[in-house]
């Protein structure tokens, strides 16, 4: 397996979707290739940072609905009820 192939298979690897033969090759390459190991870690970290920054916190209090939006929605529904 080359570096190019390893990076192509990365998403499947992280999803545990590689076939056993592919997985063995993937692991063998990874064990001997510092650049691919670095790539794997930083790829994972990029995904984690996206989530850390943007994913809503379950406990977060949702924003107030702006009064103008409430008015607009109610008016639009009155115009075309159900």
Partner 1 sequence: MTADSVDPAEAALLAGLRAGDDKAFEQLVHVHGGRMLSAARRLLRVEQDAQDAVQDALLSVSRSIGRFEGGSRLNTWLHRIVVNAALMKLRTRRRKDEVLIDDLLPRFMEDGHALEPALPWSESAEALAQRGETAQLVRDSIDTLPETYRVVLMLRDIEELDTAEVAAVLGITPNAVKIRLHRARQALRTLLDPHFRERHP
User: In terms of C-beta density within 10 A (0-12 exposed, 13-18 middle, 19 or more buried), how is residue 39 classed?
Assistant: middle
Site string for partner 1, 32-71 (x = CB under 8 A): --xxx-xx-xxxxxxxxxxxxxxxx-----xxxxx-xxx-
Distance in Å, CB of 23 to partner 1, minimum: 17
Distance in Å, CB of 29 to partner 1, minimum: 10
Contact between 26 and partner 1 by CB under 8 A: the answer reads no
Alpha carbon distance 50, 45 (integer Å): 9
Number of H helices, E strands in the chain: 4, 0
List contacts with partner 1 (CB under 8 A): 2-5, 7, 10-12, 34-36, 38-39, 41-56, 62-66, 68-70, 72-74, 76-77, 80-82
């Amino acid at each position: 397996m080359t570096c190019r192939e390893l990076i192509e298979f990365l998403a499947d690897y992280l999803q545990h979707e590689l076939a056993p033969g592919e997985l063995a090759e993937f692991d063998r390459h990874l064990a001997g290739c510092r650049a691919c190991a670095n790539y794997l870690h930083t790829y994972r970290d990029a995904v984690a940072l996206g989530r850390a920054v943007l994913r809503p916190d379950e406990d977060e209090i949702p924003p107030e609905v702006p009064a103008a939006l409430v008015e607009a929605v109610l008016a639009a529904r009155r115009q075309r009820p159900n």
